[in-house]
Structure 1
C-alpha cells in the first residue's frame, strides 16, 4: 500500500477514531488500486481539500473521503457536486448505495464496503474529464 507522504493528510487520518480510520484507509487503498489498474488515470496526487483527504488525477475529478464527529457512525466518499457522477451512480447502482445529495456516498461504519461497485465509481470520477461527454459516462 502507498504510504501517506503528505504530513497534513497523515495528521487528518490520525484524528479519526480507530473504526473510521480503518474504513477510510480501506477506501484509500481502493483508490490507489483503481489508479494502478487503469493507465488512463495516471499518477494520483494526495492532498487535503476542505480539510479532507483528496485524490486527484490529471484527467479526473477529485475523490475526497472523510468522517465527521457530527455523524459518528458514518463516513463519506465525496465527488464533485458540479458533475453528473452521483446521478450516474444512482442510475447504475440505485439503492446499492446511500447518497448525500449530489455530492457523496454515505457508508455506515458497521457495513461491509461494496468494493467492486465503489471501485467502479472511483474509476468514473478519476477519469471524469475524459469520459464526461459519454452517456452514463460510458456505461
Structure 2
C-alpha cells in the first residue's frame, strides 16, 4: 500500500496513503473540484491564512474526537500531490513522469502531475482492489475515468 517516487529526483521518497486519512491536507473528494470554481482572490486569501496559521502554530495531526473519527469514515478523500513532489525535489533535467500501475505504464507531463490529486479513500476506506491510489487531474477532466492502481511514480 505504499507508493514510491523514484527516478530522476534528488530524494527518492515513499508515500504511505494509509495514514493520509489523519493528515490535515486531505480534501473531501466532492469539495476538491469545487475549489476550481473559486476565484483567484479567494484562493490567495485562503493561502495567506494557511501560511499565517502555519507560522503561528505548525501543522500537526491532532487527536480526533469520536465524532470526527465517525465523519472521516463517511467521505472519499484526495491528497494534493505537489507537497510530495516538492520533497522529492525533481531534477531540472527530468522530462516527464511515468505512473507505474497494475495495468501498465502511463506517461504524463510533470505539470500535469503537479496539478493532480491522489484519491486514496472511498467512503473512509483505503483503495485495496485497484489502489493504493488513483490519479485525478485538478481540472476534473478525468474525474469519471481516473488513472487507477498506481504502484510507483518514476521521473525520467
TM-score by length of 2: 0.26
Query: Higher helix proportion, which one?
Result: 1
Structure ranking higher on relative contact order (CA contacts 8 Å, 6+ apart) = 2
Higher strand share: 2
Q: TM-score, normalised by structure 1?
A: 0.29
